[in-house]
Amino acid sequence: MVNSNPIGTPKDRLEALKESYLSRLESNLNHLELLAGRLLEKAQSDEYLEELHSTLHSISGSAGSFGFNQVGQQARRFEQATAKILNQANAPDEPLPAREWIAQLRASLESDKKQKASASIESSSTSKADGNTCIWLIERDAILAEFTAQQLKSFGFEVHHITDLQELNNPSKPAPDLLLIDHRANQTLSAKPEHLGSWKTLLKDFTCPKYFFGAEDTFDARLQALRNDGKGYFVKPLNMISLTRHISELFQVESSEPGRVMILETNSRLSQTLQTALEQADMLVYSLSEPQQLFESLNEFNPELILLDLWLTEVNGQELTALLSQVERWAHLPIIYIANESNSSLKNQALLMGGGIFLEQPIDTELLARLCKSQVHKLRQLEASRSKDALTGLLKHASIKEAIQSHWNYVQRQPQTFSLVMLDIDHFKQVNDTYGHPVGDLVISAVGTLLRQHFRSTDKLGRYGGEEFTLLLVDCEADDAFKMVDNLREAFEAIKFSSGDTYFSCTLSAGVLDNKQFSDASADALIEHADKALYQAKQSGRNRVCLACA
């Protein structure tokens, strides 16, 4: 761990933004005092109530992002209470306790200032590498937008802040890969009246994913985001760990391997038709006509979906479904049943046996391809939730070991070079002891995000335990793996983490090998050899990558 407080770095920009926000927050509280006095004089003034509501809303949506969590939470409660009064037809029996609210907000502000639990990250380099995800951030609060942009840039994203709706049509800006939108920004950004309208209309020319965010964690806010073509909705203050992992996984999924579909059909003509349609949709297909070969073929092909004829010669589809349910590995495999006639009894039986979809001939091949992709996507999401670490989004210990063993088995049949990497965050216990576990979690999460950005979607990346990580790099020799891991090491060292007013950086060490170096070693033995190389890196002074010696 290296303490660092450089001059002229993005850290200084973040500090300046925090100071600017604190100054504005103090000004907002003074303005609330003024409004409270006017409300005592004129309790039924909707104008003052609306201004009070607007100011509280601004505070609730931004305070948490700068570490003033108690202020943000209280402002949100007071905002909701004000909204309730505004929506009442009759005047309230008791005057609004605005001055008591402000006293509580000021007390919370002093408490928040003393807290050192807030954590953030930044990079010492803001240069954009080719291929980085480009995000357009549409945020009405300029200070909050700049602060959010700095956080996103630290994870390697290119960020452009939109301050005027007319900038949406600016051809000089690089095309966005993703839009991140304050859902209320179209109400306050400097735009001509004709530019105001629903986000769906304003963003109709953008085909990239759109994500909305706001202070409200409500059904209506999420529904409006959905109706404006939003793929998701995040609540302020934005959780950067969750947000950046979500964005990284979004683009990783789009470049993932094709779905694997097994067809069990005795009609060779129909089987060939279905196979051709699915292969044209970029899916991998394995056709089988003999049910007796089912389990052998399953183990060989490892499908993510089965197209199953309900009426086979020697066994029917319901019986095969029952057999699959008896084997843990295949018990939850999605099945699409195919029948040559409409039969409600058969359909009901298939559904009761666990099948999700029932198709009758003639088959709409375009619909079939879409259904197959949808089913594979759902299965992968389910498997990811079971096999991935919640903090980093990487494979859990058991899953990465299983992936290594599976690939080792594969290369015994189909010779191929692959590399294994064991890496570890240096002096991580000191980070936890000094700054606390929330900051430690941020450091671990940063490694997870950087790993996904530096390696291919075909590589297997896992959190081996605690602050240790394991990588399986397919079709990759040790020298190439060394270079990639060393680039990762340099990128991680360049990140500046903060806790309260303290800034620090972390380093990592790694051990690298490929299977050619240890041709007789088992999968477990390869992991041990990589771990020994990691130990060598630690003993040699840390913050380095070592190649294993055969």
Place of tokens 């060393």: 486
Contact between 391 and 437 (Cβ < 8 Å):
no
Task: Kindly state the tokens that stand for 246.
Answer: 């979500």
Contacts of 66 (CB under 8 A, 6+ apart): 17, 18, 21, 22, 144, 147
Residue 110 CB neighbour total at 10 angstroms: 10
H, E, C per residue of 219-285: HHHHHHHHHCCCCEEEECCCCHHHHHHHHHHHHHHHCCCCCEEEEECCCHHHHHHHHHHHHHCCCEE
pLDDT of residue 124: 46
Domains and CATH numbers, the chain: 6-118 (1.20.120), 130-254 (3.40.50.2300), 260-384 (3.40.50.2300), 397-547 (3.30.70.270)
pLDDT of residue 194: 38
Residue 245 CB neighbour total at 10 angstroms: 21
Is residue 167 classed exposed, middle or buried when 0-12, 13-18 and 19+ CB atoms within 10 A define those classes? middle
- pLDDT tens per residue, the chain (550 residues)? 544 444 455 556 667 777 888 888 888 888 888 888 887 776 567 788 888 888 888 888 778 777 787 888 888 888 888 888 787 766 666 677 888 888 888 888 888 776 644 445 555 443 333 457 899 999 888 888 888 888 788 777 889 988 777 788 776 678 899 999 998 887 754 443 333 358 888 888 888 999 999 888 889 889 999 999 999 999 988 877 778 878 877 776 554 678 999 999 888 888 999 999 999 999 999 998 888 889 999 988 989 999 988 777 778 777 888 888 888 888 888 998 887 766 566 666 666 665 568 787 788 889 999 999 999 988 887 877 778 888 888 999 999 999 999 999 989 988 999 999 999 999 999 999 998 988 899 899 889 988 988 888 889 999 999 999 999 999 999 999 999 999 999 888 888 787 766 778 899 999 999 999 999 999 999 999 999 999 999 999 999 999 998 7
Is residue 405 classed exposed, middle or buried when 0-12, 13-18 and 19+ CB atoms within 10 A define those classes? middle
Contact between 131 and 511 (Cβ < 8 Å):
no
pLDDT of residue 121: 55
pLDDT of residue 117: 44
Q: What positions carry a catalytic annotation?
A: 467
Task: Please work out, in degrees rounded to the nearest 5, the angle formed at the alpha carbon of residue 356 by the alpha carbons of 353 and 358.
Answer: 90
DSSP of 153-199: HHTT-EEEEE-SGGGGG-TTSPPPSEEEEETTHHHHSS--GGG-S-H
Cα separation, 148 vs 398, in Å, equals 35
H, E, C per residue of 16-38: HHHHHHHHHHHHHHHHHHHHHHH
